[in-house]
């Protein structure tokens, strides 16, 4: 069994622009972290709120691309 | 009640002069006269700002005497911290799930999924 290491999440707001920056370190090489963000099958496993089922309806992951996520709970979408 | 109290605190701190007053009271108690000294505005204007702060409970009620020191009640910040912490925790949980996903991925996986993959 592998132990999963977790790191502390840091959230900071930028005083000059309306932006909230979340910084987090992962114990994984960049290509794996990138894959977890670009692969819809992997994305649904971690991104959505835990109490809702997340479905990726459409995901065009590139600069200027688009996405449509659906959150489902029972009959509610 | 809690949500309303929170609105009052956030709204009170949305003003830079009031945040400055809070910052100075965080260094130690001070009287209205002392607090008003560095500002270009009147003592009355500063007293008004302090009244807004005291309505939230952040600062002790202004006394009739300008020489009574005012005190910051830092417990009110716990209310704000608790509100913010909920969102930090949600982000934390999300990335803990991502940790688990990353752990399962083979090391030689491509950085992007194959373009032909069917998406449900």
Mean pLDDT value across residues A20-41: 93
> Is the per-residue pLDDT at B2 higher than 80?
no
Confidence at residue B3, expressed as pLDDT on a 0 to 100 scale: 66
Global pTM? Answer: 0.63
Does A3 map to a domain? no
A22 close contact with B: CB closer than 8 A: yes
> Is the per-residue pLDDT at B120 higher than 60?
no
Does A24 map to a domain? yes
Confidence at residue A2, expressed as pLDDT on a 0 to 100 scale: 53
User: Which residue out of A46, A62, A66 would a mutagenesis test of the B interface target, given it has the greatest number of B Cβ atoms within 10 Å?
Assistant: A46
Average predicted confidence (pLDDT) for chain B: 87
Pairwise CB contact (< 8 Å): A46 & B111: no
Does A35 map to a domain? yes
Q: Domain of residue A68: give its range.
A: 10-72
Confidence at residue A67, expressed as pLDDT on a 0 to 100 scale: 92
Question: Taking CA atoms, what residue in B is nearest to A27?
Answer: B99
pLDDT tier at B63, thresholds 50, 70, 90: low
In chain A, pLDDT over 90 holds for what percent of residues?
A: 47
Count of the separate structural domains present in chain A: 1
Confidence at residue A40, expressed as pLDDT on a 0 to 100 scale: 93
Pairwise CB contact (< 8 Å): B91 & A42: no
Mean pLDDT value across residues A17-26: 88
Does A26 map to a domain? yes
Domains with residue ranges and CATH for chain B: 2-56 (1.10.10.10)
Distance CA B110, CA A32 (A): 8
Among B7-11, B16-20, B63-67, B114-118, where is mean pLDDT lowest? B114-118
Question: SS3 of B13, please?
Answer: coil
Does A4 map to a domain? no
Any idea what the CATH number is for the domain that residue A51 is in?
A: 3.30.530.20
Confidence at residue B1, expressed as pLDDT on a 0 to 100 scale: 43
Mean pLDDT value across residues B57-72: 82
Pairwise CB contact (< 8 Å): B109 & A32: yes
Q: How many helices (H) and strands (E) does chain A have?
A: 2, 4
Does A5 map to a domain? no
Mind telling me how many Å the CA of B69 is from chain A's nearest CA? 32
Confidence at residue A1, expressed as pLDDT on a 0 to 100 scale: 47
In chain B, pLDDT over 70 holds for what percent of residues?
A: 91
Which segment, A4-18, B43-57, B79-93, is predicted with the most confidence on average?
B43-57
Distance CA B115, CA B120 (A): 14
């Amino acid at each position: 069994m592998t132990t999963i290491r977790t790191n502390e999440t840091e959230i900071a707001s930028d005083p000059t622009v309306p932006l909230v920056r979340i910084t987090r370190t992962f114990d994984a090489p960049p290509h794996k972290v990138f894959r977890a963000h670009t692969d819809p099958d992997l994305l649904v496993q971690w991104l959505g709120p835990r109490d809702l089922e997340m479905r990726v309806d459409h995901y065009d992951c590139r600069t200027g691309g688009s996405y449509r996520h659906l959150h489902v709970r029972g009959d509610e979408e | 009640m809690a949500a309303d109290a929170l609105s009052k605190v956030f709204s009170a701190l949305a003003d830079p002069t009031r945040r400055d007053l809070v910052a100075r009271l965080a260094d130690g108690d001070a009287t209205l006269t002392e607090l008003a000294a560095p500002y270009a505005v009147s003592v009355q204007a500063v007293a008004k700002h302090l009244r807004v702060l005291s309505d939230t409970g952040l600062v002790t009620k202004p006394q009739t005497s300008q020489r009574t020191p005012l005190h910051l009640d830092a417990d009110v910040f716990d209310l704000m911290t608790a509100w913010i912490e909920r969102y930090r925790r949600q982000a934390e949980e999300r990335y803990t799930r991502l940790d688990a996903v990353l752990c399962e991925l083979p090391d030689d996986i491509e950085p992007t999924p194959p373009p032909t993959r069917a998406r449900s």
